[in-house]
Amino acid sequence: MPQAFQGFVLRLALLAGMVLALSVDAQAQDPSADSTIVMEGELEPIVVTATKGEKELRNVPVPTTLITKDAITAQGATRLADLLAEQPGMHLVYDHGKGIQLQGLASDYTLILIDGEPIIGRVAGTLDLGRLTVAGIERVEVVRGPSSSLYGSEALAGVINIITRKPTQPWATTISSRYETHGTVDLNVEAETTQGSVGARIYANRYSSAGYDLAPDALGQTVPRFTDYTVGGRFDLDASEQTKLNISARGNWQDQSDTVGILEGTEQVPHDNQANQTDWNVSPSIMHRLNNSLKLTGTLYGSRFKTDTQVREPDTGDLQSRTQFDQYYGKGEVQVDAIIGTRHLFTGGGGYIGERVEADRIAGGTRTTANVFAFAQHEWLPTTWADLILSARLDAHTDYATNLSPKLAVLLKPNETWRVRTSVGSGFKAPTFQQLYLDFTNAVAGYSVFGSVDAAAALRQLEEEGQIQAFLLDLDTLEEIKPEQSVSFNVGVEAEPMDNVSAQVNLFRNHVADLIEAAPVALKTNGQSAFTYFNLNRIVTQGVEAKVSYVPIPAVSMALSYQYLDTFDRDVIDQLEAGTLFKRLDERDVRLSRSDYGGLMNRSKHSGTLRLQYHHAPLGFTAALRGLYRGRYGFGDLNGNLILDDDAEYVKGYWLWHLTLTQQIMEQVSVQVGGQNLLDQTKPSLIPSLPGRLLFASLRVEL
Amino acid sequence: MNRSLFSTSLALLLLLLVAVAGCDSTSSDDEFEVPEVTLAEDIPADPVTGFDPVTGQPVGANEYTFYSLREDEIVPRSDSASTEWDIALKATTILTNGGASGPGSGGAQVLEILFEEVTEAPASGYATDAADARAIPTGSGNGWYNYNPQNNNITPIPGRVIVVRCADGTYAKLRILSYYEGAPETPTSDDASRYYTFEYVHQPDGSRRFE
């Protein structure tokens, strides 16, 4: 590892030299050669995620979706999960929280950022988007395709960046409250002020619910009762025309209570289950413009995610079990943006990430890790109708192999009607804490699982204790684990043939290799296996995303989207081609062929969204109707071969219909009523996260 | 002594006759007696008797059930050191009567193939039980079953055929149908585990042919 670091430091020095050389070059340029080619106008929406800098949405060379504040308001969503669930090509998936499936990749392959900084706290791979309020959000940007060349780990399917609202008003306050089925209440206060060069904005949100129970016979509720608080804010200081300072912070606390069954003998005995979750993040940053063509940004970011789950005997209150997890994340990053001449834009930077995790099942109880990184991006505008961006990032980590992620993106705009976006890039996903440091022996079944960092030592320890019957491989051949890696292609066309019509089609293909899975490494004397983690499987997701928007008259807007998705595990394909995969049908075994294979679980081949919005300006009335279709998808194996191949292994396709009606009463007051899942679609055993019909009403006052 | 010599001679003579008949007959398959498929149902394999009060781990009597594929019956535990039995079952572990497990010449191999397609036992490739590795590999996905951690079910892997060399060196092909009592189609937590239902074909004539 130290070797990797030495090599890395050398590369960092080289990069620094390069940045310096470029900045000198940039300073030597005539300052009057301003950035007009890069920034064409102020009216077009500006996004920041795709290139780590401001750029017009229409001129971004990678597929980018912008969810504006108006769209958020018209939908009436209160949590980020609900907001994103209605976006084309994005599916809400539930596994220890609500995550988003993007381009057919599971939720742990999409990076979630808040103002460009990563939100931490994944549980079983899912970063629960239900714990993020939409309060304080100005817009959400979704970049499809790998972005590890700028952001590092987790950005394989794409990046979701939550941009918080900047204070713009001299004084403004907004109060809103929303009531929904299942006793769900959302209360929100936001206030902002700007005084000269100083601006401040704060918000506070309380979100609570009694939960719901789709299976009254089973112990505990389907979704437990909870209370959730979020407070956040930002402070902006324009110290001078050239220097801007900002500090942003956010805190979230959630309490959940439920009843769980603890197996005593053969009987499930009810116990109280209390889960507390805390996370906060704070980020000071400084941006300094040296001249018209050179900008420096420095950012510090700190975050913590902590969970504490206690199971107690209901009568005596005795603690039965307790699980704790505590993660700290700290990052320092510098970025240089340099405009070189009229046709080149360079962005470069680097930084350090330190992490500390404390958990019950982690070897040693506490672990600390370090990750240094450097990235560079060069944008070249060879003509007025072409834009090329080349970027790469290097990540060197204490506990897994060093990773380089390059990306090339090209935008062609032959005229104002057409945009063609092509990109090829690489993404990576770092091994999780569990995959690196787990030290776990199942008390009931007797098997053991060790993280890759400590596996060899832990297994030798077991051998000394006489617990190993046989090794399945030579411990000396265990290699350092690699991050999961992807290579992805995106080719998209956007057309605006008329003022009121726009269409987008994007073809994507993601190859993900080195998927990390546990595999047995030794046989224990108790007859059970000891496992560690290996880079094993290779999967492919590919498909087409298409979207058409049409505004027949100014008051009406329509949007239709469709996604075709094809996914598979390459090793399963190999087995199918070798004729070694079978299924059991009426007690007989049948050999499977390629056409029997339904691909990865939880992926819909066909899905789509429909959106109709009517806005009657004179009356201040808005109606937004949305339909979401999810085609059939596999939920799990039933016939023993662990792959999706039988009709009984699918969840049937279904529609969800949502309606939101908004009425502006006075200039300051608006009322909203609506319903989610109006047709009351439920599938209690297969989709417990689908709560059935929800009706809501809300009041919003702006002072 | 004489009697045994006589019966051996008779057997040899019969064998010779059969061989001669086989030689001059053009349709030997017609003469070949196809062994029948036998179904063994709910053979206990150390059923759960209770739970460990400390670990909560299910426990049984920690005893193997010995089974003869030649006689289609359970062999008493007192004969565990004999060549009476061919396979022994305890939870998901299956022993064969040979190597470290017994005095017989038993062994086994697991094939990835359809049961019907095994018309002949392979000539080679048999493993015998060692103290640290069974001829029929243990562990989910390694041998005959998959373990599903979501519902804790043990499911036989479709398309796995265990070819068993019995204690006396004869061959059998075997396919496991269920690990649960009554062989329910989709087992639930209410179904008692550690009960094998399996089908097999044993070839008593010492050849490797099943068809």
What are the DSSP calls for B155-182, one per residue?
A: EEPTTEEEEEE-TTS-EEEEEEEEEETT
The predicted pLDDT at position A525 comes to 80
Residue of A263 and B115 predicted with greater confidence: B115
C-beta atoms of A583 and B131 within 8 A: no
Q: Rounded to the nearest 5°, which phi and psi values hold at B69?
A: -80, -15
Give the whole-angstrom CA distance, residue A147 versus residue A152: 7
Alpha carbon of A492: minimum distance to chain B alpha carbons (Å): 39
3-state helix, strand, coil in chain B (%, to 5): 15, 35, 50
Closest residue, chain B, to A264 (C-alpha): B56
C-beta atoms of A470 and B138 within 8 A: no
C-beta atoms of A523 and B112 within 8 A: no
Give the whole-angstrom CA distance, residue A307 versus residue A322: 10
Give the whole-angstrom CA distance, residue A108 versus residue A112: 9
What's the full length of chain A, in residues? 703
Give the whole-angstrom CA distance, residue A540 versus residue A157: 12
C-beta atoms of A642 and B146 within 8 A: yes
Per-residue pLDDT tens for A286-299?
999 999 999 999 99
Taking a C-beta distance cutoff of 8 angstroms, is the pair A499, A549 a contact?
no
Chain B environment of A527 (Cβ under 8 Å): 91, 93, 138
Hey, what long-range contacts does A119-125 have (CB within 8 A, 24 or more apart)? A119/A279, A119/A281, A119/A303, A120/A279, A120/A281, A120/A303, A120/A304, A120/A305, A120/A327, A120/A329, A121/A277, A121/A279, A121/A305, A121/A327, A122/A432, A123/A96, A123/A97, A123/A307, A124/A95, A124/A96, A125/A95, A125/A96, A125/A99, A125/A432
Chain A environment of B186 (Cβ under 8 Å): 638
C-beta atoms of A639 and B158 within 8 A: yes
Closest residue, chain A, to B189 (C-alpha): A266
Q: What angle do CA B192, B194, B197 make, to 5 degrees?
A: 95
Chain B environment of A637 (Cβ under 8 Å): 148
Name every residue whose Cβ is closer than 8 Å to that of residue A357 and which is 6 or more positions away in sequence.
Answer: A325, A326, A327, A328, A366, A367, A368, A369, A433, A437
- The one-character DSSP state at A222 is S
Chain B environment of A263 (Cβ under 8 Å): 56
End-to-end CA distance of chain B: 36
Give the whole-angstrom CA distance, residue A588 versus residue A582: 10
The predicted pLDDT at position A570 comes to 95
Give the whole-angstrom CA distance, residue A461 versus residue A411: 56
Token duo for residue A569: 């595990």
* Cβ within 8 Å of B, A 223-252: none
Name every residue whose Cβ is closer than 8 Å to that of residue B50 and which is 6 or more positions away in sequence.
Answer: A265, B58, B59
The predicted pLDDT at position A8 comes to 43
Token duo for residue A501: 């019509």
Residue type, A199: G
The predicted pLDDT at position A431 comes to 94
Count CB pairs under 8 A between chains A and B: 66
Look at the block and give the residue holding tokens 């019950």. A360
Token duo for residue A86: 């209605």
Nearest to B155 among A445, A529, A640 (CB): A640
Name every residue whose Cβ is closer than 8 Å to that of residue A281 and which is 6 or more positions away in sequence.
Answer: A114, A117, A119, A120, A249, A250, A301, A302, A303, A304
A343: left (phi over 0), alpha (psi -120 to 50) or beta: alpha
* Cβ within 8 Å of B, A 509-538: 520, 523, 527, 529
- Mean pLDDT, to the nearest integer, of B122-141? 88
Chain B environment of A583 (Cβ under 8 Å): 158-159
Chain B environment of A582 (Cβ under 8 Å): 114, 157-159
Give the whole-angstrom CA distance, residue A693 versus residue A214: 12
Give the whole-angstrom CA distance, residue B117 versus residue A560: 51
Taking the Cβ of residue A648 and every Cβ of chain B, the question of whether any pair is shorter than 8 Å is answered with no
Closest residue, chain A, to B184 (C-alpha): A587
Alpha carbon of B189: minimum distance to chain A alpha carbons (Å): 10
Closest residue, chain A, to B90 (C-alpha): A527
C-beta atoms of A639 and B131 within 8 A: no
**Residue A329 pairs with which residues in a beta bridge?**
A303, A355
- CA-nearest of A378, A309, A315 to A341 is A378
**Residue A12 pairs with which residues in a beta bridge?**
none
* Cβ within 8 Å of B, A 565-594: 580-584, 587, 589-591
**Residue B38 pairs with which residues in a beta bridge?**
B200
Give the whole-angstrom CA distance, residue A39 versus residue A46: 10
Name every residue whose Cβ is closer than 8 Å to that of residue A288 and which is 6 or more positions away in sequence.
Answer: A242, A243, A244, A295, A296, A297
Which portions of chain A are predicted below pLDDT 50? 1-42
Give the whole-angstrom CA distance, residue A662 versus residue A443: 55
What are the counts of helices (DSSP H) followed by strands (DSSP E) for chain B?
2, 13
Closest residue, chain A, to B111 (C-alpha): A580
Give the whole-angstrom CA distance, residue A596 versus residue A573: 11
Chain A environment of B155 (Cβ under 8 Å): 639-640
- The one-character DSSP state at B79 is G
- CA-nearest of A190, A180, A88 to A142 is A88
pLDDT exceeds cutoff 70 at B54: no
Residue type, A686: L
Alpha carbon of B37: minimum distance to chain A alpha carbons (Å): 13
Per-residue pLDDT tens for A156-195?
999 999 999 999 999 999 999 999 999 999 999 999 999 9
Chain B environment of A529 (Cβ under 8 Å): 139
Alpha carbon of A92: minimum distance to chain B alpha carbons (Å): 21
Residue type, A111: L
Chain B environment of A638 (Cβ under 8 Å): 186
Chain B environment of A639 (Cβ under 8 Å): 155, 158
C-beta atoms of B158 and A641 within 8 A: yes
Give the whole-angstrom CA distance, residue A109 versus residue A107: 5
A587: left (phi over 0), alpha (psi -120 to 50) or beta: left
Interface test with A, best of B52, B55, B64, B190 (most A CBs within 10 A): B55
Q: Rounded to the nearest 5°, which phi and psi values hold at A409?
A: -135, 140
Nearest to B132 among A264, A523, A529 (CB): A523
Taking the Cβ of residue B150 and every Cβ of chain A, the question of whether any pair is shorter than 8 Å is answered with yes
Chain B environment of A591 (Cβ under 8 Å): 114, 159
C-beta atoms of B115 and A589 within 8 A: yes
Taking the Cβ of residue B187 and every Cβ of chain A, the question of whether any pair is shorter than 8 Å is answered with no
The predicted pLDDT at position B190 comes to 82
- In A293-362, alpha helices (H): none
What's the full length of chain B, in residues? 211
Taking a C-beta distance cutoff of 8 angstroms, is the pair A537, A584 a contact?
no
A61-70 burial: b if 16+ Cβ within 10 Å, else e: bbbbbbbeee
Taking a C-beta distance cutoff of 8 angstroms, is the pair B82, B89 a contact?
no
The predicted pLDDT at position A15 comes to 46
Taking the Cβ of residue B149 and every Cβ of chain A, the question of whether any pair is shorter than 8 Å is answered with no
C-beta atoms of A591 and B159 within 8 A: yes
Token duo for residue A93: 């998936």
Nearest to A266 among B51, B142, B150 (CB): B51
C-beta atoms of A638 and B186 within 8 A: yes
The predicted pLDDT at position A33 comes to 38
Give the whole-angstrom CA distance, residue A683 versus residue A651: 9
Indicate the burial class of B204 (C-beta count within 10 angstroms; 0-12, 13-18, 19 or more): middle
Q: Three-class SS of residue B199?
A: strand
Token duo for residue B152: 């804790």
pLDDT exceeds cutoff 90 at B60: no
Half-sphere exposure of B193 (CA within 13 A, CB side): 19
A414: left (phi over 0), alpha (psi -120 to 50) or beta: alpha
The predicted pLDDT at position B56 comes to 59
- The one-character DSSP state at A36 is T
Which pTM value belongs to this model? Answer: 0.87
Per-residue pLDDT tens for B133-180?
889 988 788 889 988 777 778 889 999 999 999 999 999 999 999 999
Indicate the burial class of A97 (C-beta count within 10 angstroms; 0-12, 13-18, 19 or more): buried
Token duo for residue A631: 């085609």
Nearest to A443 among B56, B132, B146 (CB): B56
Which segment of A72-86, A198-212, B9-23, B58-72 scores lowest on mean pLDDT?
Answer: B9-23
Residue type, B34: V
The predicted pLDDT at position B57 comes to 65
C-beta atoms of B139 and A529 within 8 A: yes
The predicted pLDDT at position A655 comes to 97
Name every residue whose Cβ is closer than 8 Å to that of residue B53 and which is 6 or more positions away in sequence.
Answer: none
Q: Is the ipTM of this complex over 0.90?
A: no
The predicted pLDDT at position A405 comes to 96
Name every residue whose Cβ is closer than 8 Å to that of residue A274 and which is 6 or more positions away in sequence.
Answer: A255, A256, A257, A309, A310, A311, A312
Chain A environment of B157 (Cβ under 8 Å): 582, 640-641
Taking the Cβ of residue B177 and every Cβ of chain A, the question of whether any pair is shorter than 8 Å is answered with yes
C-beta atoms of A583 and B158 within 8 A: yes
Chain B environment of A640 (Cβ under 8 Å): 146, 155-158
Closest residue, chain A, to B52 (C-alpha): A265
Hey, what long-range contacts does A318-321 have (CB within 8 A, 24 or more apart)? A320/A262, A320/A271
Taking a C-beta distance cutoff of 8 angstroms, is the pair A660, A74 a contact?
yes
